[in-house]
Amino acid sequence: MPSWNAAIASYFEAERAESVLFIAVGLVAVALAGWCWLAPRKPFHTGLAVPLVLVAAIQITVGSIVFVRSPLDAARVQQLVQADPSRAQHEEIPRMQAVMMNFVIYRWTEVALLMLGALLLAFAPPASAWRGAGLGLAVQAGLMLALDFVAERRGDAYLAWLQTLR
């Protein structure tokens, strides 16, 4: 297997592996939200469940889309590089630059949500739904921030590699 083929496969395999992690985190959050709604029935738990399940819907959806799409993207890029590396650069580099710009938007959104969660935790009345929502929001935003940080670093490396193609 040519080294470019291995580089492409490695990037998209790691992307797919992280998508499984996104799905798993989302499923755990849904399970926890279900427990919060069914078990204690206290305002704190109800408030906690809402951001858990809302962000979990995003995690499961995005994770599923990436899981299905990654092998197709890998095959597409491998075919492009094999046929015409300069065409691959002209098509894949702009796509990845857009992906990288999206990570900036995600990062600032996640930081803002993490701060909002922290503020709710700090200032909402004890045992209130707002305090629960703050905890759920802070946890989910922190997890998304960490997962997207890893994905962004991987994307940076892949984009740098694409720029070396000849």
Divide the 166 residues of the chain into consecutive groups of 10 and give the mean pLDDT of each group. Answer: 82 97 98 92 94 97 98 94 89 95 97 98 96 98 97 95 85
Short-list 4, 23, 16, CA closest to 73? 16
Q: Give Rg (Cα) of the chain.
A: 19
Task: State the pLDDT at residue 2.
Answer: 60
Q: Is 148 within 8 Å of 107 (Cβ atoms)?
A: yes
pTM for the structure as a whole = 0.91
